Structure 1
């Protein structure tokens, strides 16, 4: 079966060659690697073009269209029976593709197979261990655990987006036909939205063992938070569209739904309290309290953010510097 690998990229140097090389090392002959450039200006296009077949360089219609638009360009161009995804700064390990293809050949009813993955952190000097070095200690730092977690996973994905990590996914074309393309209106969380939609149409199986590395950057947790809570939007949309009941008949407990709403709002408020807009923080904490009215920590942050909004700089003393 032909496999199409979809890799969106924007200013992917120096990491994009490692990502492509990790795909080309896979033991699968019928392969196309679709790298979709989203307006890079750092040499990415030159580096990708140098590979030649089976690597194909594509472009989004407009620069900085976002990863959803880039992936959709790749999905429209893909000719494979199976479709895989990889982010431009991550890598695959071992025989990931061969193991997934073999598994899907033996389980034609399964439309999507993922794997475990691990964090790939830089050394103190900012350089990264080689993928082979990182793979040797990969089991120590999980991104997605529960190796072998399989079944109708709407319940699990709804409550924990990292249940399916995009750079490990291999899916059937028939699932693409059912689910459609990524939602380009979402600037973040497009993959969470996509795997939720996929979970309504197919069982999802995860192979045990670490088959991919998720590169961590020093700036992953810095910068001003966004004004829109995309994860909350996606979760709320799923609840309105499908509710708590999964295709397998399992129902997410009401308390778990309330707690998820509370945490999503609290997290948004927390990030804005410390690094963003205290007005957004105040509204987010107020929304969180609608789901857990007796949460003392949330009340404390609501009052502090209200004061901070007025004073623009005060009222932060004594609060924990760690989100729930």
Structure 2
């Protein structure tokens, strides 16, 4: 019998959790593999569960009603007995299957294993944690150490019946006990290292297992399986007992116990007990996105997002400043020009893929997006080589390295932003900034001067940042393998490139028409304004989830747009003052110190003013419309750049450049607002 012909039964015990039960059932009905039956056991509910189940008209769903509650284990056994399928798997009523769970488990199912299982996500509330995301063959000694199979498995129905199902006499650990009996009788189990369902950690819900129940269950479990448990297993259960009780473990106990395995789990427990306050705050943050401690809450919810968002601009300011101070201003001119091209390519061919991680329909498809983004990486690399031979790029070796490093770094940035994981981003950006400051200083102290110094510094710094976000990543696998239409990617690429091009074309223009030192100051001024955009970009990143929501309405969008516009004005005025003062301190004339940031400020304001409308359109499938609007701006910017590069516009006519670029943005923003309003009106009317 092929796996595609195997029928799967899903047993769901439930008691007084009607709304959660509906979500659980829906998650099964949406499975990519449809040869299944559901059996729900209503364990004496009084909240309308029976009426809901009675009114279901779906041949895949049956239910059993317990007039008197008999408990979850006995209810599961009744469901398994009533199902007539080849295989069975369970689902608790407050958890949900991810869409490919049954299909993925069937793809690895093999009768030689007692059963197969998978990893899962533990949903704390605001954040999810990936557990068991590594594939593993689980032997009996492994299973007796600790439950390494999660709380749900896929197994032959007859096998569960042959070992008498779940033990209703155990007050907890019933799933672990059954898995051990199945492995003891039928051999090793197999765990697929992919998260295929979500476990809810809502502590407000009624839970089967209290601390006392778990402690009593540990004693009963050990007595029941004592004959097959080794000294290692008993030592690990001794640790498990202390963990449940919340006992502290001394350093000597940790060293002694670690020789029996599970060292990572034991070390985490030891640290959490030694740092109880920090552990408590971590759980609060995972559950609610904030903590009770006011100072720590400010650090996690305000300062870390600011640092994470403003980091890229800040690190470039530090890099350029450090190189100017320690290695000379002339060294940064070519880097500023090449970096302009580099960021254009990164925006068009890397961030255009990463943007989809923010969309609701691609949540959990990170690995799939990352794999597809390699097409963008190879394309940007090829274009970079062509630009080098055309004489536009000064340094091909370092820029190629930066294209690759920044590609992966920005893809991981999008993943963190989508999950509001700003703390890790803040750490990586601090390390990048520190490297940008320290390496030029060390070069200067050692007498190292080279025109490629800024390239080398930024390569090393960004590599440090990339390694940091990858090491501290949650290592979760994709929930889905969703393909991004390349047409949509192209539309996003055009949309996001226009603003970058209009702003970052100034370093290239300045290199063509100014002295190298002046061109370096222009690049530095733009980087200073990137820091000024720290607060607006943070607000934008934190608003992404709201704007991506399918229930977004015009009032919410208008509120976001109004707040963002105010922040842009305040940030740009502050950026103007800071940048002008900074340039004067560096020794540039006050006329140029003011005129350069004023021009850049107006471009920033005009380019960012339509953010909310444009982003909401892109997040709701209107990428082509946004691309058309931004293509208009991009065309104006390209024409201006060509006229300047060919010296058709000379220095005396530079005052025409700013109105042309800003005018394009103003027209785009006005049209975006009208289109967004029309879209919401259509949705509302329908």
Task: Indicate the TM-score class for this superposition, using the shorter chain for normalisation.
Answer: 0.5 to 0.7
Residue correspondence of structure 1 range 16-27 to structure 2 within 5 A? 16-27=21-32
Q: Name the CA shift for 1:70/1:177 in 2 (closer, same or farther; >3 Å).
A: closer
Q: Name the CA shift for 1:2/1:9 in 2 (closer, same or farther; >3 Å).
A: same
Task: Please tell me whether residue 68 in structure 1 is matched to residue 73 in structure 2.
Answer: yes
Per-residue CA deviations over 1:200-252 (Å, capped at 9, x if unaligned) read 123211112211000111337999743672342244135423232xxxxxxxx
When Rg is computed on C-alpha atoms for both structures, the one with the higher figure is 2
For residue 132 of structure 2, what is the aligned residue in structure 1?
145
For residue 122 of structure 2, what is the aligned residue in structure 1?
119
Distance (whole Å) between structure 2 residues aligned to residue 269 and residue 115 of structure 1: 28
Identify the match of residue 204 of structure 1 among 164, 189, 196.
Answer: 189
For residue 624 of structure 2, what is the aligned residue in structure 1?
none
Per-residue CA deviations over 1:1-44 (Å, capped at 9, x if unaligned) read 21111001111222111100111111233321000011111122
Greater alpha carbon shift after TM alignment, 171-180 vs 111-120: 171-180
Residue 267 (structure 1) shift: 4.2
Task: Please tell me whether residue 41 in structure 1 is matched to residue 28 in structure 2.
Answer: no
Distance (whole Å) between structure 1 residues aligned to residue 121 and residue 107 of structure 2: 22
For residue 226 of structure 2, what is the aligned residue in structure 1?
240
Highest RCO, 1 vs 2 (Cα 8 Å, sep ≥ 6): 1
In structure 1, the gaps of 5 or more residues are: 124-136, 245-253, 272-284, 297-318
> Secondary structure of 1:21's match?
helix
Residue correspondence of structure 1 range 192-271 to structure 2 within 5 A? 192-200=176-184, 201-219=186-204, 225-226=211-212, 229-244=215-230, 254=231, 256-267=232-243, 269-270=245-246
Distance (whole Å) between structure 2 residues aligned to residue 81 and residue 179 of structure 1: 16
Task: Please tell me whether residue 56 in structure 1 is matched to residue 62 in structure 2.
Answer: yes
For residue 170 of structure 1, what is the aligned residue in structure 2?
154
Aligned residue pairs total 250
Question: Does the CA contact (< 8 Å) of 1:19 and 1:91 recur in 2?
Answer: yes
| TM-score scaled by length of structure 1 | 0.68
> Secondary structure of 1:229's match?
helix
Distance (whole Å) between structure 2 residues aligned to residue 198 and residue 76 of structure 1: 17
| TM-score scaled by length of structure 2 | 0.34
Distance (whole Å) between structure 2 residues aligned to residue 228 and residue 89 of structure 1: 20
Task: Please tell me whether residue 8 in structure 1 is matched to residue 13 in structure 2.
Answer: yes
> Secondary structure of 1:14's match?
helix
Q: Name the CA shift for 1:268/1:173 in 2 (closer, same or farther; >3 Å).
A: closer
> Secondary structure of 1:75's match?
helix
Distance (whole Å) between structure 2 residues aligned to residue 150 and residue 15 of structure 1: 33
Residue 321 (structure 1) shift: 5.3
Task: Please tell me whether residue 183 in structure 1 is matched to residue 167 in structure 2.
Answer: yes
Residue 73 (structure 1) shift: 0.7
Question: Does the CA contact (< 8 Å) of 2:119 and 2:191 recur in 1?
Answer: yes
> Secondary structure of 1:188's match?
coil
Per-residue CA deviations over 1:85-122 (Å, capped at 9, x if unaligned) read 10001001121101222322xx2322311011011232
Q: Name the CA shift for 1:192/1:258 in 2 (closer, same or farther; >3 Å).
A: closer
Residue 295 (structure 1) shift: 6.0
Question: Does the CA contact (< 8 Å) of 1:49 and 1:56 recur in 2?
Answer: no
Q: Name the CA shift for 1:228/1:213 in 2 (closer, same or farther; >3 Å).
A: closer
Distance (whole Å) between structure 2 residues aligned to residue 146 and residue 122 of structure 1: 20
More strand by share: 1
Identify the match of residue 97 of structure 2 among 85, 92, 99.
Answer: 92
Residue 46 (structure 1) shift: 2.3
Q: Name the CA shift for 1:221/1:79 in 2 (closer, same or farther; >3 Å).
A: closer
Q: Name the CA shift for 1:243/1:259 in 2 (closer, same or farther; >3 Å).
A: closer
Distance (whole Å) between structure 2 residues aligned to residue 216 and residue 228 of structure 1: 17
> Secondary structure of 2:26's match?
helix
For residue 159 of structure 1, what is the aligned residue in structure 2?
145
> Secondary structure of 1:72's match?
helix
Distance (whole Å) between structure 1 residues aligned to residue 24 and residue 89 of structure 2: 13
Distance (whole Å) between structure 2 residues aligned to residue 210 and residue 224 of structure 1: 26
> Secondary structure of 2:104's match?
helix
Distance (whole Å) between structure 1 residues aligned to residue 210 and residue 143 of structure 2: 27
Question: Does the CA contact (< 8 Å) of 1:8 and 1:87 recur in 2?
Answer: yes
Q: Name the CA shift for 1:265/1:30 in 2 (closer, same or farther; >3 Å).
A: closer
Distance (whole Å) between structure 1 residues aligned to residue 102 and residue 210 of structure 2: 37
Q: Name the CA shift for 1:260/1:4 in 2 (closer, same or farther; >3 Å).
A: same
> Secondary structure of 1:58's match?
strand
Distance (whole Å) between structure 2 residues aligned to residue 113 and residue 234 of structure 1: 26
> Secondary structure of 2:242's match?
helix
Identify the match of residue 34 of structure 2 among 29, 49, 52.
Answer: 29
